[in-house]
Amino acid sequence: MRGQFPLKMAVGATAIMLLAAGCSGGGDDETSAADALVSIGIGEPQHLIPSNTTESNGAEVLAALFSPLVDFDADNKPYTVAAESVESTDNKVWTVKLKDGYTFHNGEKVGADNYINAWNHAAYGPNGNGGSYFMERVEGYKDLQSEDPDGDGPQKAPDPKAKTLTGLKKVDDLTFTVTLSEPFSGWRSVMGYTTFYPLPAAAWASEGVLKEDYEQAPIGNGPFKIKGTWQHDSKIEVERYDAYPGEKPKVGGVTYKIYQEQTAQYADLMGGALDVVTQIPIENLATAPADLGDRFKTSSNSVFQFVGFPTFLSQYSKVEVRKAISMAINRKEITDNVFRGSQTPATSFVSPAVAGYRENSCGEACTYDPAKAKAAYDAAGGPKQIKITYNADGGHKAWVDATCNQLKTNLGVDCVGVGEPKFADLLTKVENKEDVGMIRLGWIMDYPLMENYLGPLYGTGGSSNYYGYSNPEFDNLVKQGSAAPTEDEAIKLWQQAEDILARDMPVIPLRLGQNVFGHSERVKNVEVDKFQKVEILKIEATS
């Protein structure tokens, strides 16, 4: 899942402390803590429709509003949440039985139709959902897609052959089957992703057509319900949904405060106007341990940071140029000096968080060798100017500037970093194929399989393949791995696919991340998971 980060000035610290702790002077402390309001910093989401939310800010909010069919334990193994069971005898036909008692926040009972209708909408090509790709394995998906035969744009594309997936069948009110076009042993894990949340009947304007304003106040089936509407560039408020049948929240509500700069988040944390910062800014890494004491925390995550080469830009069409730029970057110097050791150099295309990870699978192309890089770059006729565009709301300026300085020195080029105010703005420009130069991107796994770092990012038509990379040999190996009967057999094929990435270098692996976060004295039991999301059911107020 694509990731990153946004401006809210601090108000009076005393007032915020009383509000966040749910205190009113006197009363039972336990009751006050259970009803407390806490705040978490995020960036402006791009969307809040589950099937169209493929970045971390929106996913953070949706994780409070929705309950997934499955979630993952400490060993990355799926366990059921809203599902009673998810079973298959052949890895192709999967039977999903839902737990009885789940309701949407408007009181509607959650049933099989809510999943089937939502997934059909997600898969239908003309709807333009960013998460449509994750429905690709379901039988009938191709018939829901359509392309403009003249290449003049989607507005001229004919209607698809079908509007619903043949692979989705209702058995009864709480049971449905999912038939895949080919067996996939990892399908149970895939269904834990955001795209697979259900939608209520109230979400639809007509059959298959969502209400235009649905994402301004999403109605979910999760532990919290939205309070009011999405206040763009300001906040999103959610409150405890008392009819939720699963594990109960330990606080009364959460305010997701939207920021345009991570440093502003940290300033609010220190000033008493914010409770949780999920990513300590680069500028504050040196002082944060002393600032926060035991409220400065780290934990493992699945973040993979990289820059991509848009294939629609001719200056990056040669693999020799791409490899030379990669070899001219001193990853260790940047992780040591800029990130103060909080991140580690990436020499592979997947994270150690998933089975199948191999250190140094990128090989020579990810080995720092400035002399060899310069010779190769000159021989290949690399561009005289390099531009790296990043989202300014994610705190990337320092490392992008450091990278540009290295490229200037080692390749003799002019290099400039260009900041887009919001991550959503950057994605929009890339989707429109504007010349943004090299693209700063990051990936957090959607589900804990090696394949999740391959198909969405590099597969032809992949949901987050913004650089337009396409290699049929790669696509075929990923597909074969997905159809393998065992995970071990799948990993062998996926590793072969990763080897092709090392050969073609559509992106430059840069860093592997970890969660470096902090919280106020008003909250406790703050944990950030491998998906870089706050464990929303664990957080508590101190009083």
Chain centre distance of CA 500: 24
Is residue 203 classed as helix, strand or coil in its secondary structure? helix
Q: Among the listed ranges 15-24, 47-56, 65-74, 323-332, which one has the minimum average pLDDT value?
A: 15-24
Cβ-based neighbours of 167, under 8 Å, separated by 6 or more: 138, 139, 140, 141, 178, 179, 180, 181
The amino acid present at 479, given as its one-letter code, is K
Say yes or no to pLDDT of 535 above 80: yes
pLDDT at 329: 98
The torsion angles phi and psi of 209, rounded to 5 degrees, stand at -120, 115
Superfamily of structural domain 68-216:
Dipeptide-binding Protein; Domain 1 (3.90.76.10)
C-alpha closest to that of 35 among 240, 202, 294, 320: 240
List, in sequence order, every residue forming a beta bridge with 296; answer none if it has no partner.
518
Say yes or no to pLDDT of 44 above 70: yes
Where is 198: in which H helix or E strand?
none
pLDDT at 5: 34
Q: Is 312 within 8 Å of 513 (Cβ atoms)?
A: no
Is residue 262 classed as helix, strand or coil in its secondary structure? helix
Backbone CA torsion sign across 36, 42, 44, 48: negative
pLDDT at 156: 67
Per-residue pLDDT tens for 265-294?
Answer: 999 999 999 999 999 999 999 999 999 999
pLDDT at 17: 31
Say yes or no to pLDDT of 148 above 80: no
Per-residue pLDDT tens for 205-244?
Answer: 999 999 999 999 999 999 999 999 999 999 999 999 999 9
Say yes or no to pLDDT of 303 above 60: yes
Q: Is 455 within 8 Å of 443 (Cβ atoms)?
A: no
Per-residue pLDDT tens for 329-368?
Answer: 999 999 999 999 999 999 999 999 999 999 999 999 999 9
> 392 pLDDT band (50/70/90 cuts)?
confident
pLDDT at 43: 93
> 13 pLDDT band (50/70/90 cuts)?
very low
Q: Which token pair is 321? A: 């140029």
Residues 239-264 have a mean pLDDT of 96
Cβ-based neighbours of 489, under 8 Å, separated by 6 or more: 481
Say yes or no to pLDDT of 417 above 90: yes
Is residue 534 classed as helix, strand or coil in its secondary structure? strand
Cβ-based neighbours of 378, under 8 Å, separated by 6 or more: none
The amino acid present at 195, given as its one-letter code, is T
Per-residue pLDDT tens for 188-210?
Answer: 999 999 999 999 999 999 999 99
> 486 pLDDT band (50/70/90 cuts)?
confident
Residues 91-95 have a mean pLDDT of 96
Residues 386-401 have a mean pLDDT of 91
Domain edges within the chain? 1-66+222-275+520-543, 68-216, 300-513
In percent, the amount of the chain with pLDDT more than 70 equals 93
Q: Is 390 within 8 Å of 420 (Cβ atoms)?
A: yes
Task: Count CA atoms within 13 Å of residue 60 on its CB side.
Answer: 33
**Whole-angstrom Cα distance, residue 498 to residue 453?**
9
Say yes or no to pLDDT of 16 above 90: no
Say yes or no to pLDDT of 21 above 70: no
pLDDT at 31: 61
**Whole-angstrom Cα distance, residue 110 to residue 203?**
13
pLDDT at 150: 57
Q: Among the listed ranges 27-41, 43-57, 384-398, which one has the minimum average pLDDT value?
A: 27-41
List, in sequence order, every residue forming a beta bridge with 388; answer none if it has no partner.
417, 438
C-alpha closest to that of 311 among 150, 193, 428, 438: 438
Q: Which token pair is 59? A: 């996913």
**Whole-angstrom Cα distance, residue 91 to residue 506?**
32
Q: Is 71 within 8 Å of 246 (Cβ atoms)?
A: no
> 423 pLDDT band (50/70/90 cuts)?
confident
Q: ∠ CA 175-181-187 to the nearest 5 degrees?
A: 55
Residues 393-416 have a mean pLDDT of 95
pLDDT at 247: 96
Say yes or no to pLDDT of 402 above 50: yes
Task: Count CA atoms within 13 Å of residue 392 on its CB side.
Answer: 11
Task: Select the more confidently predicted residue: 14 or 73.
Answer: 73
Residues 406-433 have a mean pLDDT of 90
Fold of 300-513: Dipeptide-binding Protein; domain 3 (3.10.105)
Where is 301: in which H helix or E strand?
strand 296-308
- Mean pLDDT score of the chain: 91
Question: DSSP states of 302-346 as a string?
Answer: EEEEEEE--TTSGGG--HHHHHHHHHT--HHHHHHHTSTTSSEE-
Q: Kindly indicate whether the domain formed by 1-66+222-275+520-543 is annotated with CATH number 3.40.190.10.
A: yes
